[in-house]
C-alpha cells in the first residue's frame, strides 16, 4: 500500500533540504529522530526534511502520509503562513501533526504516545477506525 509513493516530491528543493538536515538541525529534531522515529520503534519509515510541493516538512512517513512538524522559535511570528502551509498539505491528503520544541524536549513520552496513536489510526483508517 504505497499510497504516497512519490508524494508530490519537489526535486528543486533537494539541496536546500539536504542543507537543513545537516547544518540547521534543532535539538528537538535530534530528539525526535534518534529517540522516537526509528522504524524499529514506530514500524514506519520516516524521512527527514522532505520536500513536498513548495514546502520542506520536518518528518514524513510516506507509507501512511504522515507529516510531523516541530515548531521552534522561528514559528512564533508565522502563524498565518503555518496555517496556509498546513492547509495546502492536508488538501493533498496528508495528515499533519505539530509539536513545539519544548514539548519534544520536555515531554518526549507524551509526544511519542501521540505519534503512535496517529500512526495506529492511519494504518487502520481503511478498517473504519477514526483517530
Q: Nearest CA to 45 among 61, 57, 58, 22?
A: 61
What are the CA-CA distances from residue 45 to residues 38, 60, 64, 107, 111 (Å)? 7, 8, 9, 23, 18
The pLDDT assigned to 24 comes to 64
pLDDT of residue 44 exceeding 80, the answer is yes
**Residues 55-89 pLDDT 10s:** 989 999 999 999 999 987 654 556 788 889 999 99
Q: How confident is the model at residue 4 (pLDDT cuts 50, 70, 90)?
A: low
- Kindly report the pTM of this predicted structure: 0.79
Q: Which fold has domain 11-126?
A: Endonuclease; Chain A (3.40.960)
The pLDDT assigned to 109 comes to 92
The residue to which cell 500512526 is assigned: 119
Check if the beta carbon of residue 7 is closer than 8 Å to that of residue 65. yes
Strands (E), 36-91: 47-52, 55-61, 66-71
pLDDT of residue 129 exceeding 60, the answer is no
Q: How confident is the model at residue 18 (pLDDT cuts 50, 70, 90)?
A: low
Domains of the chain by residue range: 11-126
Amino acid at each position: 500500500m504505497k499510497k504516497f509513493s512519490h508524494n508530490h516530491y519537489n526535486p528543486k528543493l533537494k539541496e536546500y533540504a539536504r542543507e537543513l538536515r545537516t547544518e540547521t538541525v534543532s535539538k528537538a529534531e535530534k530528539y525526535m529522530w534518534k529517540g522516537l522515529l526509528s522504524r524499529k520503534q514506530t514500524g514506519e519509515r520516516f524521512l527527514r526534511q522532505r520536500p513536498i510541493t513548495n514546502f520542506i516538512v520536518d518528518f514524513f512517513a510516506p507509507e501512511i502520509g504522515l507529516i510531523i512538524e516541530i515548531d521552534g522559535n522561528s514559528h512564533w511570528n508565522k502563524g498565518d503562513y503555518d496555517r496556509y502551509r498546513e492547509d495546502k498539505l492536508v488538501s493533498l491528503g496528508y495528515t499533519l501533526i505539530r509539536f513545539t520544541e519544548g514539548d519534544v524536549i520536555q515531554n518526549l513520552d507524551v509526544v511519542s504516545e501521540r505519534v503512535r496513536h496517529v500512526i495506529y489510526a492511519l494504518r487502520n483508517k481503511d478498517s473504519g477506525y477514526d483517530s
